[in-house]
Amino acid sequence: MPVYEYYCPTCSSKYELLRPMDRADKPATCPNGHHGGTRMLSVFAAVSKDAGGSTMPAGGCACGGAGCGCRGH
């Protein structure tokens, strides 16, 4: 089962839940017992090494353009 991130508008907490994919977008109760938590967009980072062994970001820009040069993030 995948882990999804949620946000509770009542107490402003962010939390993770293991849920089946068919329940991912359904409201989720937060750890403080509030109902109606909404699923957040999960963000992750990946790194790799170039031919010289230096660490560099992998993948494209957060805006979706690979190597677009966007500086707005």
Burial class (CB in 10 A: 0-12, 13-18, 19+), 68: exposed
pLDDT in tens, 21-60: 999 999 999 999 999 999 998 776 677 777 776 766 665 5
Per-residue pLDDT band at 73 (split at 50, 70, 90): very low
Coil, helix or strand for 23? helix
> Is 0.75 topped by the overall pTM?
no
Instruction: State the average pLDDT over residues 14-18.
Output: 94
